[in-house]
């Protein structure tokens, strides 16, 4: 198996096994460019593409075996061409490759990517992300959302309409904290891919949006958030100091109506000109995954910069 060489002078990345999901979209080109800038020469990189099952693409009318066989050959050929296109972007860099043919494997694209990442022991999955809104989102769907909700390794999503350059490492990184050990672990992970010149900002969002609470209850809740936020930012400052880094800190607030935490995070990132957003997340399943993971998933849906969802089940000791 081919493996990249490590540059002796470069600091070790937090991610040593990076899997890049490949298709023929513009989003994949942006994601590949960003993966190269961050990990080429520092990690083992595997390109993986998924060839769709013609039975699912042509559910009506495609009844002859000859038609299905020809369609499968064309689909697999297109998948191989997509791999070759991305391989050319990594000229001179040793890569691994994988092609999952859904004609012989069960599940959909998200299932295939998640299973392959798990089997290969990837510690980071990189993929492009196309933002769909309204009815189009339900008609065309998106692979990145189910992957973001179900992945057990870290996930780096790069939007197709990314507003920042993807041919270089991030210059201004924003870390969104929620007071949990997972978000602080995400900070520790993100610091490992920051360069010495990267500017850092840690933020905690106080959710002031009033839903089912009266005025006094809302004030009590906001005070609790403020206290938790100050503690989280203090711990983040200590983590940065322990690694010889300093970071701006900010306690920001949502609007009292028609606002939420994901929008506040994305708004602050844009106003500060951040070019990589990092959120620490967990690998939980079941109801805890749906409740606690919803902020990260909804934030990823809104961003116009790359977003790193740093998975961690470990508590930080900071």
> In the chain, what are the domains?
17-159 (3.40.50.620), 172-311 (3.40.50.620)
Quick one: which of 121, 99, 128, 124 has its CA closest to 33?
128
Percent of the chain whose predicted confidence (pLDDT) is above 70? 82
Q: d(Cα 144, Cα 157) in Å, to the nearest integer?
A: 8
Check: CB of residue 144 under 8 Å from CB of residue 5.
Answer: no
Work out the pLDDT band at 115, boundaries 50, 70, 90.
very high
pLDDT above 80 for 78: yes
Mean pLDDT to the nearest integer, 27-54: 95
Query: pLDDT at residue 265 above 90?
Result: yes
Question: Which distant-in-sequence residues (6+ apart) come within 8 Å of 285 by Cβ?
Answer: none
pLDDT, greater one: 140 or 116: 116
**Residues constituting the chain:** 318
Mean pLDDT, residues 273-296: 68
| pLDDT value, residue 104 | 87
Q: Is the pLDDT of residue 235 over 80?
A: yes
Calculate mean pLDDT across residues 70-75: 89
Tell me what the mean pLDDT of segment 222-242 comes to: 91
222-260 core/surface letters (b: 16 or more CB in 10 A; e: else) = beebeebbeebbebbbebbeeeeeebebeebbbeeeebe
Confidence at residue 293, expressed as pLDDT on a 0 to 100 scale: 55
Which of 111-125, 163-177, 186-200, 215-229 is predicted with the least confidence, judged by mean pLDDT? 215-229
The predicted model gives 157-180 an average pLDDT of 94
When mean pLDDT is compared across 95-104, 137-146, 292-301, the lowest value belongs to 137-146
pLDDT at 110 over 60: yes
52: pLDDT strictly greater than 60: yes
- Report whether pLDDT(2) > 60: no
The gap from C-alpha 204 to its chain's centroid, in whole angstroms, comes to: 19
Task: Round to whole Å and give the CA distance between 164 and 198.
Answer: 15
Six-digit token string for 38: 């961050």
- Mean pLDDT rounded to a whole number for the chain: 84
- Residue 290 pLDDT more than 50? no
The better pLDDT of the pair 117, 11 is held by 117
Q: Highest-confidence range of 148-152, 159-163, 314-318, by mean pLDDT?
A: 159-163
Considering only 164-173, 215-224, 303-312, which range has the smallest mean pLDDT? 215-224
Task: Assess contact for 280 and 316: CB atoms under 8 A.
Answer: no
Residues 6 or more apart whose CB falls under 8 angstroms from that of 57 comprise: 71, 75
172: three-class secondary structure by DSSP:
strand
Are 176 and 183 a contacting pair, CB within 8 Å? Answer: yes
The answer, yes or no, to whether residue 1 has pLDDT greater than 60, is no
Question: Is there a contact between 290 and 192 (Cβ–Cβ < 8 Å)?
Answer: no
Instruction: Kindly tell me if the per-residue pLDDT of 4 is higher than 60.
Output: no
**Residue 196: DSSP 8-state:** T
């Amino acid at each position: 198996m081919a493996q990249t060489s490590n540059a002796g002078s470069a600091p070790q990345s937090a991610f040593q096994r990076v899997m890049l999901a490949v298709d023929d979209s513009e989003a994949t080109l942006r994601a590949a460019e960003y993966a190269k800038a961050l990990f080429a020469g520092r990690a083992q990189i595997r390109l993986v593409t998924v060839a769709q099952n013609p039975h699912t693409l042509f559910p009506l009318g495609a009844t002859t075996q000859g038609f299905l066989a020809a369609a499968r050959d064309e689909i697999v050929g297109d998948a191989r061409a997509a791999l070759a296109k991305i391989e050319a972007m990594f000229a001179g860099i040793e890569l691994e490759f994988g092609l999952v043919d859904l004609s012989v494997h069960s599940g959909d694209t998200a299932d295939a990517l998640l299973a392959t990442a798990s089997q290969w022991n990837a510690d980071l999955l990189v993929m492009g992300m196309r933002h769909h809104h309204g009815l189009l989102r339900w008609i065309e769907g998106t692979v990145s959302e189910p992957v973001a909700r179900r992945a057990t390794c870290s996930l780096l999503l790069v939007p197709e309409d990314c507003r920042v350059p993807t041919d270089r490492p991030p210059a201004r990184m924003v870390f969104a904290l929620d007071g949990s050990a997972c978000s602080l672990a995400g900070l520790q992970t993100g610091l490992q891919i920051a360069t010495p010149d990267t500017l850092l900002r840690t933020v905690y969002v106080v959710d002031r949006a009033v839903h089912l609470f009266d005025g006094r209850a809302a004030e009590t809740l906001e005070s609790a958030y403020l206290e938790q936020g100050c503690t989280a930012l203090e711990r983040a400052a200590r983590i940065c100091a322990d690694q010889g880094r300093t970071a701006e800190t900010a306690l920001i607030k949502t609007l009292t109506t028609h606002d939420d935490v994901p929008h506040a995070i994305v708004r602050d990132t844009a106003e500060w000109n951040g070019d990589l957003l990092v959120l620490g997340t967990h690998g939980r399943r079941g109801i805890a995954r749906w409740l606690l993971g919803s902020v990260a998933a909804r934030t990823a849906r809104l961003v116009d910069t790359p977003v790193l969802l740093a998975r961690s089940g470990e508590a930080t000791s900071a």
